[in-house]
Amino acid sequence: MQELSVRHLLGIKDITAEDIQLIFETADNFKDVLNRPIKKVPSLRDITIANVFFENSTRTRLSFELAEKRLSADVINFSSSGSSVKKGETLLDTVNNILAMKVDMIVMRHSSPGAPHFLSRHINANIVNAGDGTHEHPTQALLDSFSIREKLGEVAGKKVVIIGDILHSRVALSNIFALQKLGAEVMVCGPVTLLPKYIRELGVKVEFDVRKALAWCDVANVLRIQLERQQMKYFPSLREYTLYYGIDKKMLDSLDKEIVLMHPGPINRGVELSSDAADSHHSIILNQVENGVAIRMAVLYLLASKQ
């Protein structure tokens, strides 16, 4: 069996294009499993996985938990809100206490960029980064690219624009790395205050007019405004942001070609996307959620073989 070049999935930056293709091929097989009447395989029957979440999550947490159960792993869930973290326990002590219970793998979300990388240097268990601050969210980028491949046949040569709050988004950075490794052209679009200062150094195009960006692209991946990460005002009001950067179905229908519309969720309807756009035939947003389970099954399965 082919295997990954890494022991942990900390970020897309650390893996190769071959790793991504292996994850996709494995996910194809698991997607077949998920469409069977019995959606379960015994692949990780002897593995215990801890979901350690220090930040709120709906889709990612449910998706990982479902992926683990579909693979027959034993699952424990940890949430910092009701834990000893509130009593002053450190990250390393928290995780070491969980590992003392003979846990094989950690799926972790944390508000501090680099937290999973720090842990990987101090513990033996495999680590999957489920989002670290504004840094990376590798499984989201993998499922996004997998969804583009499923819809359009391949990622190579496709033009993908990422629209919205690039500055505070971990999804944007992971997507840029994944799409470039797979041979896509990438553009970012948003207000100048929400674009990182040196974003062009990543080899992406920059556009400030959302209509020009939509006319250029094959795929538009729309991000929400991350108000919970913003320490100051980056634009006058949400109403003004919607006026300049909101996408509706009328705008999509006015293009001279069909484009694919994506969103990592949660959607703020009426801000970055109108309801008629989010629910239109252009949208593959629910396909992304479905593919998330298969991608996470593939990642967990491949990392378990690196025990």
User: What residues are paired with 145 via a beta bridge?
Assistant: none
Confirm whether residue 113 is marked as ligand binding. no
The position carrying tokens 């942990």 is 8
Confirm whether residue 87 is marked as ligand binding. yes
The answer to whether 245 and 272 have CB atoms below 8 angstroms apart is: yes
**Strand 260-262, strand 219-222: pairing:** parallel
Confirm whether residue 37 is marked as ligand binding. no
Confirm whether residue 59 is marked as ligand binding. yes
* DSSP SS3 for 23: helix
* DSSP SS3 for 2: coil
Angle 28-184-259 from CA coordinates, rounded to 5°: 80
Bin 153: left if φ > 0, else alpha if -120 < ψ < 50, else beta.
Answer: left
Confirm whether residue 266 is marked as ligand binding. yes
* N-to-C CA span, the chain: 15
Which residues of 134-272 form beta strands (DSSP E)? Answer: 159-163, 185-189, 205-207, 219-222, 260-262
Handedness of CA 300, 301, 302, 307 (dihedral sign): positive
Confirm whether residue 265 is marked as ligand binding. yes
Give the residue ranges of the annotated binding site: 59-60, 87, 109, 137, 140, 170, 224, 265-266
Query: Residues marked as binding for L-aspartate?
Result: 87, 170, 224
Which residues participate in the annotated binding site for carbamoyl phosphate? 59-60, 109, 137, 140, 265-266
